[in-house]
Structure formats: structure tokens, C-alpha cells
């Protein structure tokens, strides 16, 4: 039975009639502990048994919880949350970017992946960002109209809603339209972001008018921020669906701005865009089934690959964040990122050896390169013969409904505020995802990730991503829903949340809060968050690791579902607006 049939036969996925009052035998009550998380009570998950929402913004969490309370399913709540985030968190929530969604029913392993990654415009070409001297023009690839791929978010969200949801489009988008029209009270993080990116945003007249007061000053915490142009754009989507964004007024506004500024996206590019349903990347780790995104994401492939490499080691006995555990994890990460640089790209354009990369036999062969006592220099590691980055402002959320159906979703503009360029008259920012292609194969992108021919620029191609929305299943049920922003650290952050739960037995809040490490092959440095003991760092240096202590990595929003019907939500305290809310049957 396919996923559509499974979801439709599930009670929570039946279409709803909002003409009649919604009455439940067991009332549902929402609770939140986001304040406790911020005040220091950070190891206690948010609990519920009739639904759970964990997002990067309280208003999105509340809107999604309202959908679940009224009988909507996890997909309905996810679409509502995503559109609300496009209003209240414009630095990363978006309708001008793209992303990935995993949908898993509670009683079937028929998991699907929805790919709504941006695509290169038809006029894109392999050398479009190279100077006459053959070097990459980073200004052009990151902060110009040419840096934008054809947006996929609207198409992806609508595809999810139409295929697996129960709400109609108007119901799902209504909370976002209301917040854009009536405005919302600005939190401190909103102000800090606009002040930090002022120089870039104020270069664009549209962004200056959209995000700053008439005198050029920044909206302050407590101010009300309204977005009437965005409200009209959302209303067109509500009224006309896919055509309300990819054709008509919005498409015209995008194409006209592109044409006037040497951009490449045309009305035909927009009309041609379609999101795709794909088969997830899948692996097994210690009896648990791991589902994540396939290409054009590298995330799922390499999460599974790293877990395959680590499975023979007694990670639980070695201890959580011990020097030996971290050493083995880092060595496995290096091997996976070396393969990423060679093999990964849009599987609609290049042949990705996915089966080989995910196989236990390949892991057994590559594991021979791991020295348990000393680090292997990255210069000595090449990609194996197998049978990009998103900024820290990527946004992830996880949602579970009363029947255990779950959604894991990650989407982005790439950099914080994308290219910094807004669509005049439409009220939203454009992405700068074209920088995620290999503008010059073999050269690192903005975040040090190396790309090869598989990810070179081609017309209508999706650029490689690290986004890794992930679902773990066990004994036929959904167990863990996770994912994170964090650029090249998305893969390793998601990996560590999974291992913290499976190997180390941490509750989901502890798993999210624990200090993280990251290695991406090149540059050959082990990045660690603060929180590891000096003794551990000393032992790692003795093994040959060059260590960089950096700021927080990622912002994982995760859910754990136990076998007693309890749902545990974990909002990452690394992002001050993160929140988790659960519903209870009483």
C-alpha cells in the first residue's frame, strides 16, 4: 500500500470539515516549556501524548499546534508552520528559497522524501561565475540577482499538502497571512539579525524599504512589524495555489526584477518548476532504521555512511564525548566528506553511486583507513571507489500528530537573508543557492566544502545540499524526528543527535543540548563546541587532531516517540526563539 493510501486511511489524516464545530471525546490542551529551556532547565524535554511541534520560532510552533488541536495531521501542521516562518523569521524561513521534507506514517515504513530544492535557471551555464582569469567571482555567486536559483518552497509545501494533508490551502496559509497583515511583536533576535546584516540589506532598495523603518533605523524588540506586500503574495498563493506563485503577478514581479538587474530567472523558469517525490536514503544502525534525504542532498547518504563506518565500534562503552569516541567519529566523518566532494550531485543529472555509498561492504573497505590511535591526515584521504553549504540560518522543524505520523522539514535561503535582495512589490527575499554549485570544480565554496564535476552548474539542475531532515524508526514505529540548520555541520549535528539517543541513551533534550564536534575532511581541523573537558581536548591533540573551538553548531529541533505513546520534544537552546509544545489527551 502506498503512503497516500496509508495516510488517508489513518483517522488523523481524514479530510476535515470546518463547517461544523470540532469536538473530541478527549480534549487536547497545549503546554510549552520554552521558557524553562531558556532559563536553564535544559535537560527536560517538553511532553505530550496527542501531538508535538518543535520549531525555531514560538509563533510558528503555536500556529502548528493549533492545527493539530483542531484535528489536522502532521503534514497540515508542517505546511502551516513553514508559511508562518516565512513571515516571522525572514532571515531563513522563506518562500523565496527551497528545501526538503520527509513524511512518515505512524504505522508504516512507507516513508517519502519531498524534494523542493531550488533549480538553476535555464540560462545558467557552467562558467557563469568565473572571471576572465578563471577565478570565482564570489560577489556575483553570492550577492547578485544571478546568485538566485528558481525558488521551490511554495511548490514543495503545496505538493505535501495536496498529497498527504487534510486541510485545504486557505486554512493552511491563513495564519501566515494574518501575521503578515496584522504584524507581530519583534523579538530581540529579529533586531540583532537586521543590525548584523544592515550593510548588505541596505544596498538593496527593496530590502531597505521592507525591513527597516522609513528613517533607516532598525525595528526594536517590542515593535510591531507588518508586511503588507508579503500578505498579498501569500493571498495569491492561497487563492490560486501553485499558479498563484509560479505564474501571474508574483512570477511577473520576480522576472521583471531579474531582467532589470542581469538576473537569469524568467517567467518560463518559474512556470516550469515542479517539486519531486523521491525515495529516501535508508540505512540500518544497531537495529534502527534511518531515513533521510537522498540526492540532491548529501545529508542522508553520509549520515548512513558514517553510521555504517562506526557500527562495529563499542561506542556506548567508549563513552559519550570521550576522546576515543570523538576520534572515531571524526575519522569516519572525514571519509564521508571526501566522498561527498567527488560523487554527490543532482541524481537527475549525474549518476550517484548511492547503493554503493550506503552499503556495508563499502563501509568495511573504507574502515580500514581508520587508525584507532592516531588521526589520518586529510591529505592522505581520497574519495573511495564506491560500488555546500547552507548557512546557520537554515531552518528545521519536526512535528508529530496524535496518530504518530511525523514530518521532518529543513528549508533555507542559504546565507542569512539569502542574497540580501528582496522582490519589490512581493515582500520576500531571494535565495543565493547558486553558490552551492561547484562554480569551479575542486575549489572550496564559501564554507570550505569541495565540489567536483558532479555538482557543476547546469541549466535546470538542482544544486547539492547538506540539509538532512531525518526520521528514525524502530520495531515498525517512528522513534526519532530530527534535523538542523548549520551549513556543512548539518550532517554531523544530525548524526550526533541520533548517536546520543541510540548509543548513549540520552533523552532527546540531553541529546540536543550536548556539545558537538565536526570534521569535514578539508580543512583538516576538528571543530568542537565549548563544553568538552580540557583533558579530552588534550587527548585528542595527542592523537594528532588540530582543534578549533568555535561557537554553537546547528539548532536541532527534535522529537522522540516512546513505546508508551509519549512524545518528547526538544527545542535547541542554541537558538533563543526555539520552542516546543505538546498536546495532551485528558
Residues belonging to the chain: 586
The whole-angstrom separation of Cα 314 and Cα 379 is 28
Q: Report the sign of the C-alpha dihedral through residues 328, 389, 151, 297, in that order.
A: negative
Exposed, middle or buried: residue 498 (CB in 10 Å: 0-12, 13-18, 19+)?
buried
* Helix or strand run (H / E) with residue 315: helix 315-318
Amino acid 4: pLDDT: 36
Q: In which domain, by residue range, is 536 found?
A: 280-391+467-585
The answer on 89 and 56 residing in a single domain is yes
C-alpha cell, 532: 568538552
Whether 158 and 177 map to the same domain: the answer is yes
338 and 368 fall within a common domain: yes
Distance CA 487, CA 446 (A): 10
Q: Is 270 helix (H, G, I), strand (E, B) or coil?
A: helix
Dist. CA 339–CA 83, nearest whole Å: 35
Q: Please state at what angle helix 228-240 crosses helix 74-88, rounded to 10 degrees.
A: 150
What's 466's DSSP letter?
-
- 227 and 130 in one domain? yes
Nearest CA-CA partner of 473 in 331, 280, 294, 302: 280
Residue 105, φ and ψ in degrees, nearest 5 = -70, 155
The alpha helices in 23-90, defined as continuous H runs, are 34-39, 58-69, 74-88
Which residues lie below 8 Å from residue 10, measured CB to CB, with a gap of 6+? 73, 105, 106, 107, 403, 405
Predicted TM-score (pTM) above 0.85: yes
Run of H or E including 363:
helix 360-366
Phi-psi region for residue 554, left (φ > 0), alpha (ψ -120 to 50) or beta? left
How far is Cα 545 from Cα 524, in angstroms, rounded to an integer?
8
Q: How many folded domains does the chain comprise? A: 2
Please compute, for residue 381, the number of CA atoms within 13 A of its CA located in the half-sphere on the CB side.
27
Query: Mean pLDDT, consecutive 10-residue segments, the chain of 586 residues?
Result: 40 33 38 40 86 98 98 98 98 98 95 98 97 94 98 98 98 98 97 96 97 97 98 98 98 98 98 98 98 97 98 98 98 96 92 96 97 96 61 86 98 96 98 93 63 88 96 97 95 98 97 96 95 96 96 95 96 95 93
Choose the catalytic residue: 61, 266, 394, 410. 394
Q: What is the rounded CA–CA span in Å between residue 282 and residue 291?
A: 5
Q: Which of 495, 505, 484, 488 minimizes the C-alpha distance to 560? A: 505
The pLDDT score that the predictor gives to residue 138 is: 93
Residues ≥6 apart with Cβ < 8 Å to 506: 320, 500, 514
CATH of residue 581's domain is 3.60.20.40
Among 396, 414, 378, which residue's Cα sits nearest to residue 142? 414
For residues 10 and 105, the answer to whether their CB atoms sit within 8 Å is yes
Residue 459 falls inside a structural domain: no
Element (H, E) at 228: helix 228-240
Task: Kindly state the cell numbers that stand for 456.
Answer: 557543476
Q: What angle do CA 30, 34, 37 make, to 5 degrees?
A: 140
Residue 270 sits in the same domain as residue 286: no
Q: Are residues 181 and 110 in the same domain?
A: yes
Provide the pLDDT for residue 391: 53
Do both 231 and 338 map to the same domain?
no
| Residue 185, strand partner residues | 224
Residue at 404 is within a domain: no
| Contact in structure between 506 and 514 (CB atoms under 8 Å) | yes
Examine residue 38 and state whether it is found in any structural domain, yes or no: no
Q: Please give the C-alpha separations between residue 260 and each of 26, 124, 256, 322, in angstroms, as whole numbers.
A: 57, 17, 6, 56
394 catalytic, yes or no?
A: yes
Residue 444: inside a domain: no
Give the cell for residue 131.
Answer: 572571471
**Residue 534 belongs to some domain of the structure:** yes
Specify the DSSP class assigned to residue 560: E
Q: In the numeric block, which cell numbers belong to residue 192?
A: 540583532
Task: Give backbone dihedrals phi and psi of 415, rounded to 5 degrees, phi first.
Answer: -70, 165
Q: Please check whether residue 457 lies inside any domain of the structure.
A: no
Q: Do 161 and 301 fall into the same domain?
A: no
Show which of 375, 407, 433 is a domain's final residue. Answer: 433
Backbone angles phi, psi at 74, to 5 degrees: -65, -35
One-character DSSP codes across 433-444: GGGGSBSSTTSB
570 within some domain: yes
Tell me which DSSP letter residue 399 carries.
E
Compute the distance between CA of residue 163 and CA of residue 244 in angstroms, rounded to an integer: 18
9 and 103 both lie in a single domain = yes
**247 and 371 belong to one structural domain:** no
- Distance separating alpha carbons of residues 128 and 147, to the nearest angstrom: 10
- Residue 107: inside a domain: yes
For residue 189, the tally of other CB atoms under 10 A from its CB is 16
- Report whether 325 contacts 332 (CB < 8 A): no
Contacts of 21 (CB under 8 A, 6+ apart): none
My answer on whether 360 and 264 are in the same domain is no
Q: Are residues 213 and 309 in the same domain?
A: no
Nine-digit cell at 548?
Answer: 578549533
Q: Exposed/middle/buried for 331, CB within 10 Å: 0-12, 13-18, 19+?
A: buried
Maximal C-alpha separation, the chain:
71
Amino acid at each position: 500500500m502506498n503512503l497516500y493510501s496509508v495516510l488517508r486511511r489513518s483517522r488523523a489524516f481524514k479530510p476535515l470539515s470546518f463547517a461544523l464545530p470540532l469536538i473530541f471525546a478527549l480534549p487536547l490542551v497545549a503546554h510549552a516549556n520554552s521558557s524553562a529551556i531558556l532559563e536553564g532547565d535544559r535537560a527536560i524535554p517538553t511532553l505530550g501524548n496527542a501531538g508535538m511541534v518543535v520549531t525555531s520560532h514560538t509563533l510558528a510552533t503555536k500556529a502548528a499546534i493549533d492545527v493539530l488541536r483542531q484535528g489536522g495531521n502532521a503534514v497540515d501542521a508542517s505546511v502551516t508552520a513553514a508559511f508562518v516562518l516565512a513571515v516571522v523569521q525572514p532571515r531563513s524561513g522563506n518562500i523565496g528559497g527551497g528545501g526538503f521534507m520527509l513524511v512518515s506514517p505512524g504505522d508504516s515504513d512507507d516513508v517519502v522524501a519531498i524534494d523542493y530544492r531550488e533549480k538553476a535557471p535555464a540560462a545558467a551555464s557552467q562558467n557563469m561565475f568565473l572571471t576572465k582569469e578563471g577565478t570565482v567571482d564570489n560577489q556575483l555567486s553570492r550577492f547578485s540577482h544571478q546568485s538566485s536559483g528558481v525558488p521551490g518552497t511554495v511548490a514543495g509545501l503545496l505538493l505535501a499538502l495536496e498529497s498527504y494533508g487534510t486541510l485545504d490551502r486557505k486554512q493552511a496559509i491563513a495564519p501566515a497571512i494574518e501575521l503578515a497583515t496584522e504584524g507581530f511583536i519583534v523579538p530581540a533576535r529579529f533586531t540583532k539579525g537586521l543590525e548584523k546584516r544592515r550593510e548588505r540589506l541596505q544596498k538593496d532598495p527593496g530590502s531597505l524599504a521592507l525591513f527597516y523603518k522609513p528613517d533607516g533605523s532598525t525595528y526594536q524588540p517590542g515593535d510591531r512589524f507588518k508586511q503588507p506586500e508579503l500578505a498579498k503574495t501569500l493571498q495569491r498563493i492561497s487563492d490560486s495555489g501553485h499558479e498563484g506563485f509560479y505564474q501571474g503577478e508574483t512570477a511577473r514581479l520576480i522576472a521583471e526584477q531579474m531582467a532589470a538587474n542581469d538576473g537569469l530567472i524568467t517567467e518560463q523558469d518559474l512556470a516550469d518548476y515542479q517539486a519531486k517525490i523521491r525515495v529516501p536514503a535508508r540505512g540500518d544502525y544497531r537495529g534502527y532504521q534511518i531515513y533521510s534525504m537522498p540526492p540532491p542532498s548529501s545529508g542522508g547518504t553520509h549520515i548512513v555512511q558514517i553510521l555504517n563506518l562506526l557500527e562495529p565500534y563499542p561506542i556506548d562503552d567508549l563513552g559519550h564525548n570521550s576522546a576515543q569516541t570523538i576520534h572515531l567519529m571524526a575519522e569516519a566523518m572525514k571519509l564521508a566528506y571526501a566522498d561527498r566532494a567527488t560523487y554527490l550531485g543532482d541524481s537527475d543529472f549525474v549518476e550517484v553511486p548511492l547503493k554503493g555509498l550506503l552499503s556495508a561492504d563499502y563501509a568495511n573497505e573504507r574502515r580500514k583507513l581508520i587508525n584507532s590511535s592516531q588521526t589520518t591526515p586529510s591529505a592522505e584521504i581520497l574519495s573511495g571507489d564506491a560500488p555546500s553549504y547552507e548557512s546557520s540560518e537554515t531552518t528545521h522543524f519536526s512535528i508529530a500528530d496524535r496518530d504518530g505520523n511525523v514530518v521532518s522539514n529543513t528549508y533555507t535561503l542559504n546565507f542569512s537573508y539569502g542574497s540580501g535582495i528582496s522582490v519589490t512589490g512581493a515582500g520576500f527575499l531571494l535565495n543565493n543557492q547558486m553558490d552551492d554549485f561547484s562554480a569551479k570544480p575542486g575549489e572550496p565554496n564559501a564554507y570550505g566544502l569541495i565540489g567536483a564535476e558532479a555538482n557543476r552548474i547546469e541549466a535546470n539542475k538542482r544544486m547539492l545540499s547538506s540539509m538532512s531532515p531525518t526520521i528514525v524508526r524502530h520495531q515498525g514505529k517512528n522513534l526519532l524526528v530530527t534535523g538542523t540548520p548549520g551549513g556543512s555541520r548539518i550532517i554531523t549535528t544530525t548524526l550526533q543527535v541520533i548517536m546520543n539517543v541510540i548509543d548513549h541513551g540520552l533523552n532527546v533534550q540531553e541529546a540536543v543540548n550536548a556539545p558537538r564536534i565536526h570534521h569535514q575532511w578539508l580543512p583538516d581541523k576538528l571543530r568542537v563546541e565549548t563544553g568538552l573537558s580540557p583533558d579530552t581536548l588534550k587527548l585528542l591533540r595527542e592523537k594528532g587532531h588540530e582543534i578549533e573551538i568555535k561557537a554553537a553548531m546547528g539548532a536541532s529541533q527534535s522529537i522522540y516517540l516512546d513505546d508508551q505513546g509519549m512524545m518528547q520534544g526538544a527545542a535547541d537552546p542554541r537558538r533563543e526563539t526555539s520552542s516546543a509544545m505538546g498536546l495532551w489527551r485528558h
